Structure 1
Amino acid sequence: MGGNVERKVRVAEVTLRCVLCGLGTLAAALVATDKQTRTFFTMQKTAAFTDVRALVVLVAANAVAAGYSLLQAARCLFFFGSSVGLRSSRAIAWCVFSGDQALAYVALGAAAAALQASVVSKRGLPAFQWMEVCGLYGAFCRKAGGGIACAVAGVLAAVALAFISAFNLFRLYGKKKNGGATTW
């Protein structure tokens, strides 16, 4: 592969890992600090992210995504200028590929569950006589919505990283330097 293309792939990988780290941190922070208290007659009722299990999972998944992305970005930057790294080690490439795939699936699952819970919170579910909650806790829902939006953007970055790590892995199984194809 040409040096210019390889450099662009490396820059894209580092950039996406940094973006995912930032989005994961922001999503986890927005949702984890989300709380609103309302007074109904004489009782105070507080809505917190811990009331919705999908939001708890979203916070955990985004915190893990941010930490993993930070570690992988550090690895990428450490090997950025050298010829050592994924190109020379299939074992490392398989580990990164597996980690990126797992991260993408976990982040996607957590974001999908949080989106589903937010739709029920916004619209209610008349068949089960569940009322809409966002009419009562508007600030809570808006902040949670911002966190979920950051999480969805993070999922897109995680999926793009999964493609890049797949590319980095499977190019190691390409043609040999002498021009012959690799045998299976």
Structure 2
Amino acid sequence: MSYLGLGVSPGTVPVYHGTKLKVLDRRVRITELVLRCVSLGLGAVAIVLVVTDSQVKEFFSFQKKAKFTDMKALVFLVVANGLTVGYSLIQGLRCVVSMIRGNVLFNKPFAWLIFSGDQVMAYVTVAAVVAALQSGVLGRTGQAELQWMKVCNMYGKFCNQMGEGIASAFVVSLSMVVLSCISAFSLFRLYGTNKNKYAGW
């Protein structure tokens, strides 16, 4: 007797069929690898867009150059994405090796390490995007109560490129959130009834 890929043992304990489990494992691994590559690629794009973003405006007899270091939130965004790129590269290589060998040691301590790393990177990237987005909104809309000018009216090109960088970083943060869910799934399945079947994950 089976239902949605589940079998029922004589002791009424649900067990996964081997074929179904292998298909699930492969799909999860491919999804993880794709998301690692997305985080790596778009993280690098976000860094390039933000770091190379600058615009010079002339006010009367002097010039003022806007650059990403003028906004601490953008500096934080660059650092966060730099960490994400390095982390995604390492984890991406692990995924490739896992798929090639088909059986990589994935014990509980190692699973906890990956889970913790993904959680930290997810929180860091989300925090960086939120901080940069808030700064960008203030730059575009200003704050009349505090007499803050709409900086983007003067530095339109700078703000547009900054927005592109934040958009790329936003996709990276979403990818890291999904990856943290995948690593949580991979970790806690080790504590399930069929943990011995997952030892090769």
Q: Does 1:159 align with 2:177?
A: yes
2:132 aligned with 1:97: no
* Alignment partner of 1:172 out of 187, 190, 194: 190
Residues 23-172 of structure 1 mapped to structure 2, 5 A cutoff: 23-85=42-104, 88-172=106-190
Q: After the TM superposition, which parts of structure 1 deviate over 6 Å for at least 4 consecutive aligned residues?
A: none
The residue type equivalent to 1:77 in the other structure is V
1:79 shift after superposition: 1.5
Secondary structure at the counterpart of residue 152 of structure 2: coil
Distance 1:177 1:57, change over 3 A: closer
Q: Which runs of 5+ in 2 are unaligned?
A: 1-19, 197-201
Please provide the CA RMSD for this pair. 1.5
- Give the structure-1-normalised TM-score: 0.93
> Displacement, 1:41?
1.2
**TM-score under structure 2 length normalisation:** 0.85
Counterpart-to-counterpart distance in 1, 2:193 and 2:102 = 19
Within the alignment, does 1:9 sit opposite 2:28 as a pair? yes
Q: How far apart, in 2, do the equivalents of 1:7 and 1:177 lie?
A: 17
Aligned length: 178
Partner amino acid, structure 2, of 1:124? G
Closer, same or farther in 2 for the Cα pair 1:177/1:129, shift >3 Å? closer
In terms of Rg, which structure is larger? 2
**Stretches of structure 1 lacking an aligned partner (at least 5 in a row):** 179-184
